[in-house]
Amino acid sequence: MTTALTFPGQGSQAVGMGKALAEAYPEARAVFAEVDDALGENLSAIIFEGPIETLTLTANAQPALMAVSLAALRALEANGLDVGKMAAFVAGHSLGEYSALAAAGSLSIAEAARLLRIRGAAMQAAVPVGEGAMAALLGLDFETAVAVAAEAAEGDVCEAANDNGPGQVVISGSRAAIERAIEIAKAKGAKRALLLPVSAPFHCALMQPAADAMREALSEVLIAPPVVPLVANVLAAPISDPDAIRSRLVEQVTGMVRWRETVIWLDGQGVDLLLEVGAGKVLSGLAKRIAPAVRTQSVGLPDDVPAAMALLG
């Protein structure tokens, strides 16, 4: 069996995520302590107890989701997982790419937490509240969704931000253009086209100030070669060179998350098990639609750990 580890992104957060892992595994508990120490605050209390409004703030949600993913990974390692020997690739959805790099030994947990705090704050600050928006276009193929965005732009920013799976494309840009795109998408036969409850227009050109902030932040961080290749969001292809990783992490802020192509590429490499390491089951659900023959297992609760290790043999 050939395995890839995948790591979820924003939208998978929930109050209480990771708490059972922290109670069951001292190794998982240590991850939350390390993140709290790196940020100089008790983020784990917000993760475990809420309120959800505070957890969902981009600057909190990003390091929080990474913490849960790495807590789950440490629980797997406590049960015998060796990433370098038992996984062929790692991949993460948007912020999950930082989780993937920490899992593969490229970044320390503390560095990943600090970078994600910077990333979340910079993405929030890049566009004044209310001026940007994101929308999900459901039931249109990718090419049609891109055409809808282009037609709606009318000189404003309106771009495909996430190619998540068949018939599920998220667009991002100026609010007026996104609202136009919703109406155009409906006219072109979209099953649904709806605004997303997000605080900023991620993964589009409006995020350039955040990309600049990440270029500066990443220039000061040591990135080691990962023990297994990272399948990068913006390439849907593997990279291992630290300088290439650094560049792709900057491009990722304004670039599209090519998740559908990532899963197709992994399937084409013979990957037949995807472990979703962290909160929720979003990536497992997408994978079942993109590559139905590939087995999936989410690992976010203590009972998931032995189930995943049994699949790994």
List the strands of the sheet with 132-138, edge to edge.
158-165, 168-174, 132-138, 192-195
Q: Strand 230-232 vs strand 132-138: parallel, antiparallel, or unpaired?
A: unpaired
User: Does the annotation count 94 as an active-site position?
Assistant: yes
Out of 69, 94, 99, 298, pick the active-site residue: 94
Out of 12, 69, 99, 203, pick the active-site residue: 203
User: Does the annotation count 93 as an active-site position?
Assistant: no
**Active site (catalytic) residues:** 94, 203
